[in-house]
């Protein structure tokens, strides 16, 4: 892939968005985007984290020329989204929330068609399609209609379709929403590989875990506004990082273990709490070093452990710590009745 | 000495120059349209049942009308069933063009629902290519339906008096179908589901098809309805096709059909293209 697109005056940013505004249903309608600024450095992944209805998809649609923003500016891969949409389309790849491939065509035919639409010769389109099917482990299913693919296969085909034009910038709009954990891991591995090849990625997601897996920087969006941004580590520190969950082999040791941890000073400013119902002790941890030290301390004190796990904060917890309120939009995971009634 | 100038933080980044006008050339347009036509043809190959309407409708309708109404209407025409065959087959040609044109709307609507349209719209292709490919394949389907119709027609005893007239009639009905397609393309873009496109199409088509000279002469209809049929494009096309294929007056029907075909295209094509381009 050519990296000759580097434009020094662009400050090494593959995506630069300033004051982007998009209304739906007239000026009195919803402000899907309410003055969004963001930058993605070349060759990095920016995660855009937010609940349903926060404006993530609207942002991606604006940046991929599918809709026109009402005001603001955006430059992607050196091209102005508003004034140079045609040139820009050669530089971007798009993988939507719903796999946007033609279900009635086979995997091969889908990729071949997109190759032809991207002005590859017949031979090149064929070669590229074969190459990408191989790479995304779809060779065996190449001749079957995409309608017969599993969710993960379809998402992989969608990713392959986005890669045909060797884009400089790739938009992934909730690439793993609705996938089971194993398939999710497969998609993550593919994304990591693409990033390794130098593609710049703008990733939208509802999952903190996904952002942590893929992104180096994170922007949190709510009701069309950016409410926090920065490096993943920085943001994690702000929102309290992970929670360590330890299960002693003997439930009778729960309280002693919590007290020991508090006394050790390893828990920092936080305290260990006992979750008697689940038979675990919970400790907020900020770093890998702290995590290691806690586990070592427990081992050296002779506790027999049945299970150790760390948990990332959920989207709700992230929002709670950033804004003091729960995310405003309805969640994928069935909204609670209380919220609906309130 | 050079003076270093500090750019303000919010200065717009310099845009790339040189290929500022990256217009799509004619050859690229042809290539894109070809790739999309190929896609639509593969659909048919993978789902042969999608051709049922084009293959079976001409057969079923011709047999029904000829054997159910043929005797009695034929008598009114001063002949028998044979006279009705000569009357109704050109009418069937007119009906085919509209019925097949309607299918373009549902197929197009599905593309929007499935997200593949977003993929097309994010690619560096002329948006018209997507429309042109769809229309080309529908015209092809229309020609296939016409061929089937003519085979059935000959089997039930239809006699063509002018072969050049037959080809002219087929061309005219394709032209009218082209005009009608813009209506259904627009509906396909603006309506929420393929079912509603189909329901809407049904509502528009029924009065136009039956309130016309397709199936029966209009002389016995009430005055207001006869007046309507005079300018109903379905009558125009049926009458013109009749004149061209088996002899009779051509001019009025031809002008009505041409006026409608061109009028629909001039008015609806820009609307369809604009709705298509702006669809959020």
* ipTM (interface predicted TM): 0.80
Instruction: Judge whether B13 lies within some domain.
Output: no
pLDDT at A240 over 70: no
Are A101 and A130 within one domain? yes
Question: Are A219 and A247 found together in one domain?
Answer: no
pLDDT of A295-327, one tens digit each? 899 889 889 999 998 887 766 677 777 766 655
pLDDT for A7 beyond 50: no
Question: Is pLDDT larger for residue A223 or for residue A242?
Answer: A223
CATH code: domain of residue A168: 3.40.50.300
User: Residue B181: is its pLDDT beyond 70?
Assistant: yes
Helix (H) or strand (E) holding A125: helix A122-135
Q: What is the pLDDT of residue A267?
A: 80
Same domain, A144 and A84: yes
Instruction: Note whether A75 and A38 are same-domain residues.
Output: yes
Asked whether residue B238 is domain-assigned, the answer is yes
Position B23 in a domain: no
Q: Which of A189, A215, A237 is the last residue of a domain?
A: A237
Asked if A119 and A47 sit in the same domain, the reply is: yes
User: From the list A98, A117, A165, which residue is nearest B35 (CB)?
Assistant: A117
Tell me if A340 is assigned to some domain: no
Note whether B170 and B89 are within 8 A (CB).
no
pLDDT at A242 over 90: no
Q: Which of A93-102, A264-273, B247-256 is most confident?
A: B247-256
**A291 and A231 both lie in a single domain:** no
Measured distance CA(A279)–CA(A56) in Å, rounded: 39
Please indicate, yes or no, whether residues A162 and A267 belong to a single structural domain of this protein: no
- CATH number for the domain spanning A260: value is 3.30.70.100
| CB A65 within 8 Å of CB A37 | no
Does any domain span residue B83? yes
Helices (H), A254-331: 254-264, 288-300, 315-323
Do A295 and A271 share a structural domain? yes
Task: Judge whether A12 is closer than 8 Å to chain B, CB to CB.
Answer: no
Which of the four pLDDT bands, split at 50, 70 and 90, describes residue A334? very low
Q: Does B48 touch chain A (CB under 8 A)?
A: no
- Percent of chain A at pLDDT above 70? 86
pLDDT at A28 over 80: no
For residue A101, what is the nearest residue in chain B, using CA coordinates?
Answer: B116
CA dist., res. A236 & res. A287, Å (int): 10
Output Rg (C-alpha) for chain A, integer angstroms.
Answer: 23
Handedness of CA A215, A82, B192, A107 (dihedral sign): negative
Stated length of chain B: 280
- What are the helix (H) ranges across chain B? 26-46, 52-64, 70-76, 81-114, 116-121, 127-155, 163-190, 194-210, 223-231, 233-246, 251-278
A198 and A248 inside one domain: no
Residue A319 lies in a domain: no
- How many domains does chain A divide into? 2
pLDDT reported for residue A18 = 95
Instruction: Report the alpha-carbon distance of residue B256 to residue B149 in Å, rounded.
Output: 24
A32-36, A155-159, A239-243, B163-167: the lowest-pLDDT one? A239-243
Instruction: Tell me the C-alpha distance between A241 and A318, whole Å.
Output: 9
Say whether residue B124 is in contact with chain A using an 8 A CB cutoff. Answer: yes
Confirm if B63 and B159 have CB atoms less than 8 A apart: no
| CB-CB contact of B14 with A7 (8 Å) | yes
What domain range includes position A158? 11-237
Give the pLDDT band of residue A82 (cuts 50, 70, 90): very high
User: Who wins on pLDDT, A13 or B8?
Assistant: A13
Residue of A nearest to B32 (CA): A117
Nearest to B144 by CA among B41, B224, B216: B41
Contact A13, A39 (CB under 8 A): yes
- Whether the pLDDT of residue B210 is over 50: the answer is yes
- What DSSP character marks residue A144? S
- Number of domains composing chain B: 1
Q: Which of helix, strand or coil describes residue A48?
A: strand
Which of A314-323, B5-14, B230-239 has the largest mean confidence?
Answer: B230-239
Cα-based distances in Å from A135 to A78, A128, A142: 29, 10, 12
Most confident of A105-109, B28-32, B80-84, B197-201: A105-109
pLDDT for A139? 94
B191 in Cβ contact with B203 (< 8 Å): no
Chain B residues in contact with A79 (beta carbon < 8 A) = 15-16
Note whether A89 contacts B124, CB cutoff 8 Å.
yes
The helix (run of H) or strand (run of E) holding residue A200 is strand A200-205
pLDDT at residue number A98: 64
- Which of B15, B34, B114 has its CB closest to that of A78? B15
Q: Is the pLDDT of residue B280 over 70?
A: no
Regarding whether A302 and A199 lie in a shared domain, the answer is no
Return mean pLDDT, chain B.
86
Residue A224 in domain:
yes
Task: Of A196-210, A300-314, B15-29, B246-260, give the lowest mean pLDDT range.
Answer: B15-29
The verdict on residue A177 lying in a domain is: yes
Interchain contact, A104 vs B115, CB within 8 Å: no
In a domain, B61, yes or no: yes
Helix (H) or strand (E) holding A85: helix A85-89
In B, residues 56-85, which contact A (CB 8 Å cutoff)?
none
List the single best residue of A19, A102, A124, A170 to mutate versus B (max B Cβ within 10 A). A102
Structural domain for B133, as ranges: 28-278
Strand partners, A16: A39, A75
On whether the CB atoms of residues A17 and A33 are closer than 8 A, the answer is no
> What is the CB neighbour count within 10 angstroms for residue A307?
11
Pairing of strands A13-24, A79-80: unpaired
| A254 and A229 assigned to the same domain | no
Which residues of A fall within a CB distance of 8 Å from B34?
A: 116
Least confident of A274-278, A299-303, B17-21: B17-21
- Residue A2 is predicted with a pLDDT of 42
B3 touches chain A (CB under 8 A): no
The reply to whether residue A116 touches residue B42, judged by beta carbons under 8 angstroms, is no
Mean pLDDT of B207-232: 89
Q: According to the model, what pLDDT value does residue A275 have? A: 85
Average pLDDT, chain A: 84
Domain closes at, from A181, A215, A237: A237
Query: Does the pLDDT at position A341 exceed 80?
Result: no
* Residue A119 and residue A92 share a domain: yes
Give B52 to chain A, closest Cα distance, Å.
17
Asked whether residue A338 carries a pLDDT value surpassing 70, the answer given is no
The verdict on A76 touching B (C-beta cutoff 8 Å) is: no
The mean pLDDT of B63-68, rounded to a whole number, is 92
Q: How far apart are CA B48 and CA B38, in angstroms?
A: 15
In total, the C-beta contacts within 8 angstroms joining chain A to chain B are: 106
Are A135 and A169 spatial neighbours (Cβ–Cβ below 8 Å)?
A: no
């Amino acid at each position: 892939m050519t990296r000759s697109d580097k434009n020094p005056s662009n400050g090494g940013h593959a995506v630069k968005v300033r004051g982007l505004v998009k209304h739906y249903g007239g000026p009195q309608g919803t402000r899907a985007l309410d003055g969004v600024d963001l930058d993605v450095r070349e060759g990095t992944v920016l995660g855009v984290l937010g609940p349903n209805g926060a404006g993530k998809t609207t942002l991606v649609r604006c940046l991929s020329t599918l809709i026109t923003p009402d005001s603001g500016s955006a430059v992607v891969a050196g091209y102005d989204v508003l004034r140079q949409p045609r040139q820009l389309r050669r530089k971007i790849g798009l993988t939507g929330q719903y796999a946007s491939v033609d279900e009635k065509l086979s995997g091969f035919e889908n990729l071949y068609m997109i190759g032809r639409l991207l002005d590859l010769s017949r031979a090149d389109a064929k070669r590229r399609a074969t190459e990408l099917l191989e790479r995304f482990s779809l060779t065996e299913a190449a001749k079957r209609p995409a309608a017969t693919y599993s969710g993960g296969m379809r998402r992989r085909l969608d990713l392959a379709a986005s890669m045909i034009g060797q884009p400089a910038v790739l938009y992934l709009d909730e690439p793993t929403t609705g996938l089971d954990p194993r398939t999710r891991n497969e998609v993550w591995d593919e994304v990591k590989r693409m990033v390794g090849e130098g593609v710049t990625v703008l990733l939208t997601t509802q999952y903190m875990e996904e952002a942590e897996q893929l992104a180096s920087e994170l922007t949190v969006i709510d009701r069309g506004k950016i409410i926090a941004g920065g490096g993943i580590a920085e943001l994690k520190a702000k929102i309290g990082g992970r929670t360590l969950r330890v299960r002693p082999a003997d439930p009778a040791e729960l309280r002693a273990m919590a007290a020991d941890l508090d006394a050790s000073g390893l828990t920092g400013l936080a305290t260990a709490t006992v979750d008697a119902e689940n038979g675990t002790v919970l400790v907020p941890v900020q770093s890998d070093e702290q995590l290691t030290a806690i586990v070592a301390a427990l081992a050296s004190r002779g506790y027999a452990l049945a299970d150790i796990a760390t948990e990332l904060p959920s989207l709700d917890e992230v929002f709670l710590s950033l804004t003091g309120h729960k995310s405003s939009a309805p969640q994928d995971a069935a909204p609670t009745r209380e919220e609906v009634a309130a | 000495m050079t003076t270093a100038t500090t750019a303000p933080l919010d200065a717009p980044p310099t845009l790339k120059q040189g290929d500022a006008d990256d217009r799509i050339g004619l050859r690229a347009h042809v290539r894109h349209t070809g790739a999309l036509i190929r896609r639509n043809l593969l659909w048919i190959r993978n789902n042969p049942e999608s051709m049922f309407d084009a293959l079976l409708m001409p057969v079923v309708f011709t047999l029904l009308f000829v054997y159910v109404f043929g005797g009695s209407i034929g008598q009114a025409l001063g002949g028998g069933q044979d006279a009705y065959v000569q009357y109704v087959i050109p009418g069937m040609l007119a009906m085919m063009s509209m019925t097949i044109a309607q299918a373009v709307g549902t197929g197009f609507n599905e593309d929007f629902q499935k997200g593949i349209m977003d993929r097309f719209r994010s690619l560096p292709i002329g948006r018209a290519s997507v429309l042109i490919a769809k229309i080309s394949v529908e015209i092809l389907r229309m020609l296939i339906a016409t061929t089937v119709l003519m085979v059935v027609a000959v089997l039930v005893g239809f006699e063509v008096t002018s072969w050049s007239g037959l080809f002219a009639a087929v061309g005219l009905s394709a032209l009218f179908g082209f005009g009608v397609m813009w209506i259904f393309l627009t509906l396909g873009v603006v309506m929420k589901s393929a079912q509603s496109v189909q329901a809407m199409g049904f509502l528009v088509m029924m009065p136009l098809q039956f309130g016309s000279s397709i199936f029966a002469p209009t002389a016995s209809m009430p005055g207001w309805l006869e007046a309507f049929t005079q300018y109903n494009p379905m009558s125009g096309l049926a009458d013109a096709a009749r004149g061209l294929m088996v002899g009779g007056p051509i001019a009025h029907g031809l002008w009505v059909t041409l006026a409608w075909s061109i009028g629909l295209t001039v008015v609806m094509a820009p609307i369809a293209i604009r709705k298509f381009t702006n669809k959020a």
